[in-house]
């Protein structure tokens, strides 16, 4: 077992998982920095198709964009080293106090990622929620989720000139719409 710098043998039993909020798209860089310091890091990733102009490419994306998990005793020296790491925003917690994540939750995600090749994040879309189409021929269309049947598709309704038009779309091709 590798001890992180600032940890001793007595603190190993007190090691817990903590979520670390990092700058967007810096998850791998921070994970590597932590690993080089001897920390136990978990960065769950999934395979995703990425469209390029000339091809479709499979890439790895973080399951929780902007976050990774570190198992540590969070001793004062250790906490300072984590916070001072470039691209780290904060240690996730309640009222500025780091809050550990139960081991069972981290292990559940680890098992899910390891057991299936199609693990991916799911959007939590609700009926009546405003969404924008982000991909395909309807890209840019704003509508309201009409149905959320089980599976990969949802029905989005667009109203224009007192008429409603519905389209069945892939969940991955829409995202929640935030009014500015």
CATH number, domain containing residue 160: 2.30.30.30
Print the domain residue range for 151: 130-176
Is the full-model pTM beyond 0.95?
Answer: no
Q: Cα(81)–Cα(38) distance, rounded to whole angstroms? A: 12
Residue 122 · residue 142 · CB < 8 Å: no
Are 152 and 91 contained in the same domain?
no
For residue 147, give the 3-state DSSP assignment. strand
Are 49 and 21 contained in the same domain?
yes
Range scoring the smallest mean pLDDT among 2-16, 33-47, 61-75, 84-98: 2-16
Are 108 and 157 contained in the same domain?
no
CATH number for the domain that contains residue 101: 3.30.70.940
Residue 148 · residue 129 · CB < 8 Å: no
Nearest of 123, 120, 124, 136 to residue 168 by alpha carbon: 136
In the chain, the number of structural domains is 2
Classify the C-alpha dihedral 146-155-176-102 as positive or negative: positive
Q: What average pLDDT does this structure show over 97-120?
A: 84
Q: What average pLDDT does this structure show over 98-106?
A: 93
Model pLDDT, residue 139: 81
Q: For residues 136 and 80, which has the higher predicted lDDT (pLDDT)?
A: 80
Asked which of 91, 115, 139 is the last residue of a domain, the reply is 115
CA distances to 28, 41, 53, 172, 176 from 97, rounded to whole Å, are 25, 20, 45, 35, 30
């Amino acid at each position: 077992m590798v001890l992180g710098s600032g940890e001793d043998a007595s603190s190993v039993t007190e090691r817990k998982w903590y979520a670390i909020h990092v700058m967007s798209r810096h998850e791998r860089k921070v994970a590597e920095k932590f690993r080089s310091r001897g920390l136990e890091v978990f960065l769950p990733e999934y395979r995703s198709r990425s469209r390029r102009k000339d091809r479709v490419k499979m890439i790895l994306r973080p399951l929780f964009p902007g976050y990774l998990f570190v198992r540590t005793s969070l001793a004062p020296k250790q906490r300072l080293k984590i916070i001072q790491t470039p691209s780290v925003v904060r240690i996730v917690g309640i009222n500025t106090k780091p809050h550990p994540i139960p081991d069972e939750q981290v292990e559940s995600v680890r098992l899910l990622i390891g057991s299936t090749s199609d693990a991916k994040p799911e959007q939590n879309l609700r009926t009546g929620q405003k969404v924008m189409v982000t991909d395909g021929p309807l890209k840019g269309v704003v509508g309201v989720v009409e149905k959320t049947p089980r599976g990969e598709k949802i029905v989005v309704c667009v109203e224009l000139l007192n008429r409603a038009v519905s389209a069945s779309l892939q969940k991955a091709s829409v995202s929640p719409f935030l009014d500015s």
